[in-house]
Structure 1
Amino acid sequence: MDEMHSISVTEKLLPYEDFSYKKDLLRKYADYIGKCDKDFFSLVNNIFVDEEEKGEIVDEMILKTKQLEVWNTNLLMDVNFRIGQVVNRFNDQVDEMKQQRITITYENILVFE
């Protein structure tokens, strides 16, 4: 009597590759954005505060600039935190794509002599 059988396995087609080095690269860009922000806020401070500008408009611009500075700082902190999570998830996704589920179906033939 002939019988059909199937075997399913997961086969790794390519070796694991670690993309952790991307964290440093992305953080470098985030740091550069932070430096640009710092330069901008320093320039605003030099124009309005150091030159002792006065008035309601100036006060409002200083307030809005300080709020923007806090918001940007918090955003960059969040970005730096999430970079690690995103790269780790990327590692996992790439590793999963390097695997293939294979099903082998064969017929077991019994031969009687």
Structure 2
Amino acid sequence: MKGDEHAITVTEKILASEDLSDKKGILKKHTNRINDYDKAFFNLVDSIIVNEDQKGEIVEAMLEKTKKFKSHNLNLLEDVDQQINKTVNNLNEQVEDMKTQLLTIKYRDNI
């Protein structure tokens, strides 16, 4: 009927999709650098202790501690890489959600 008001509500994407996965590479570059420093340190320790044929209880204890430290650091870096993946994926989802808007269109019949 003429003059009747109606409303329709729709969900509309107001901005184009954008993949933020490239941010993972930027963040992982830093964990890779930390890993490179760790490798250099462990190679130095190895060259001092192992390659110079050092022996004894202190040397064995140092080697054991170094191996544990190396393993711990690798586990930490793996955890950080996993967190980077999760965080960037969550960021992608949040950004996509923000690009969607609920719109209500109200109109009146003219016929």
State the TM-score, normalizing by the size of structure 2. Answer: 0.74
State the TM-score, normalized to the length of structure 1. Answer: 0.73
Moved >4 Å (runs of 4+): 1-5, 108-111
**RMSD after superposition:** 2.7
Q: How many positions carry a matched residue from both structures?
A: 110
Would the alpha carbon gap of residues 15 and 109 (structure 1) be closer, same or farther in structure 2, given more than 3 Å must change?
closer
Deviations 1:64-104 (A, max 9, x none): 11011112223323433443333222111111112222334
Displacement of 1:109 in angstroms is 7.1
Letter in 1 for 2:18: E
For structure 2, the residue ranges without an aligned partner over 5 or more in a row are none
Displacement, 1:54? 3.4
Q: Deviations over 1:2-56 (max 9, x none)?
A: 7664432222222211112122222222221111110011111122222233343
Q: Secondary structure at the match of 1:14?
A: coil
Which position in structure 2 is the counterpart of 1:70?
Answer: 71
Look up the match of 2:59: 58
